[in-house]
Amino acid sequence: MKIYALLFGLLFAAGCAAISGPSAPAIDGKWEGAMEMMGQSTKIGYEFMSDGSTLTGTTTGPQNQKIEITNGKVEGNNISFDVPIEMGPMKMTVKYKGVLAGEILELTMEMDMPEGAPGGGQMPAIPPIRATRVTAE
């Protein structure tokens, strides 16, 4: 009889968990990190929201300007997204790839410099950005 009671309790708990729905994806929320470039550390913020495999949100730079991310994707603990940047007549896209490990998000950046930009071609390598969660959504 005790076995039936225990089995019923486990099934009841599993059913309640299923009814409450899936928990929010781990990437949803606000994140902060710092980008190291040319000996300078620049604070960077991210706010993400996922819907299935689609990632949306914004990134915030040093002057607190928010930029909408584009082409965002979530695949397990991996994310990717683009950030379009305009500096006067120059238009660029920064491509991010990231891996989520608990409360740490490690991001790498890649950007092609526009033609006519100083140094033209590929941007110098930037060390990975380690962002930590500020709030969960």
Per-residue pLDDT of the chain (137 residues; tens, 9 = 90+): 444 333 344 344 444 444 444 444 589 999 999 988 778 899 999 999 999 999 999 999 878 899 999 999 999 999 999 999 887 888 889 999 999 998 999 999 988 766 556 655 666 677 899 999 998 76
pLDDT of residue 111: 83
Query: 21, exposed or middle or buried, with CB in 10 Å at 0-12, 13-18, 19+?
Result: exposed
For residue 44, which amino acid is it?
Answer: I
Find out whether 70 and 59 touch, Cβ atoms under 8 Å: no
